[in-house]
Amino acid sequence: MSDAASENESLLSGYEGRLLVAVSIGWLAIQGGRLVLSPMLPEIKADVGMSDTQAGIAFTVIWGLYALLQYPSGRLSDVLSRKLLLVAGLGLVSVGFVVLGSAGGYPVFLGGAAVIGVGAGLYPTAARALVSDLFVERRGQAFGLHTASGDLGGVSAAGLAAVVLAVAAWRVVYVPVVLAVLAVAVVLHVWVREEYAVGRADLAVRATVQRLVGTPTVRRLLVAYALYAFVWQAATGFLPTYLEQGKHLPSWVATASFALLFGVGVLVKPVAGSVSDRIPREVLAPAVSGVGAVALVAVVLADSNVTVLAATTVFAAGLMAFPPVMQAYLMDTFPAASAGGDLGATRSVYIGLGSLGTTYVGAVADLVSYRLAFLGLAAMLAVSAVTVATTR
């Protein structure tokens, strides 16, 4: 057995390991349910009746509300309990998926997107705070494994979409997703040893803002992460549609490229997180995002199925290696007593700004072209890399 495999096996053993697996499967299910929209988008637009701009707005609603809830959910998980936020988030997400899958028109579709955004917003910061509580010495490795589960959700979304669209209507895809989300909610209800704590809590917004904004390093890292999040959400939302409708490639190339984004992420995130426990995170983060920027330009310029898939693979490696490194980097800097809230506040900022990425791509595609939109994304990712590299 390799050293990396042995490390992962020991990390996943015992009570802490079981909880890491459970919260990671919950994140996998949430991400899979949200990301399955991307490979099915051409069918959904035709069925529900949406333009590219309206589709971009729906993505922004999901991710914008998700971002908005990051800080309060993190703060409440510090003051009340991680368990409350985890189970409540999964419950709301399941409701949102049911509404989305039954939508007969754009307003109901948008309403389902909003419920999903709220439910998803309650879950991940509490999950990451719980992971941070459980693993201190090997925090980077634990974050790598946990965040990789979201990419496994993306791979699952691509496969699930392909299977469902081959035999049924797109709405059927949410049946297994809802069942998975509810199953994880039950498991966490039983396994997490905390009691449910419900009550009023001071969100301490001013103190948190002063603590974060008053630190020059955190300010610059927030700018860099917001640019990265803008690119991530735009690419994961529109890459399949760009390849199929913008570059006029076969649908199988678009679906395979989407799966590659997350399949590569499953592999590189644990490795990047583990490596960041050994070398400076402030060096590793700009290196991987810089690689992603160059590779995205290659995706735009590629003119064959093989070169597109190859460039997408490199782009995915750079893009997906960034989060575990940066999130561990941020958690290293936060006080233990407010770590959940501080992480939530930073996530609210960078995911909230990043949620505009899909609206940007949809609008630029409608007005000019997908090519210009994606070249702009590559430039943003390059700026993000430079910003982290020059932060000390």
What's the domain count of the chain? 1
364 pLDDT band (50/70/90 cuts)? very high
The pLDDT of residue 91 is above 70: yes
pLDDT band at 276 (very low <50, low <70, confident <90, very high): confident
> So what's the pLDDT on residue 193?
76
DSSP state of 171: G
Task: Give residue 1's pLDDT.
Answer: 42
Distances (CA, A) of 177 to 48, 86, 90, 116: 20, 17, 11, 13
CATH number for the domain spanning 115: value is: 1.20.1250.20
Q: How confident is the model at residue 99 (pLDDT cuts 50, 70, 90)?
A: very high
303-322 in b/e form (b: 16+ CB < 10 A) is eeeeebbbbbbbbbbbbbbb
Tell me the per-residue pLDDT of 23-67, one tens digit each, with 9 for 90 and over.
999 999 998 998 888 888 888 888 888 888 888 888 889 888 888
- pLDDT, tens only, 107-140: 999 999 999 999 999 998 888 888 877 776 676 7
Q: What mean pLDDT, rounded, does the chain reach? A: 84
**Structure confidence at residue 2 as a pLDDT band (50, 70, 90):** very low
* Burial of 145 from C-beta contacts in 10 A (0-12 / 13-18 / 19+): buried
Per DSSP, the three-state class of 203 is: coil
Record the tokens describing residue 126, joined without a space.
């509490």
Closest CA to 118 of 90, 145, 148, 141: 90
The residue segments making up the domain with residue 229 are 3-389
Give me the DSSP letters along 260-306. Answer: HHHHHHHHHHHHHHHHHTTS-HHHHHHHHHHHHHHHHHHHHH--SHH
**What's the pLDDT tens digit per position in 310-346?**
999 999 999 999 988 887 777 776 766 666 667 777 8
pLDDT band at 309 (very low <50, low <70, confident <90, very high): very high
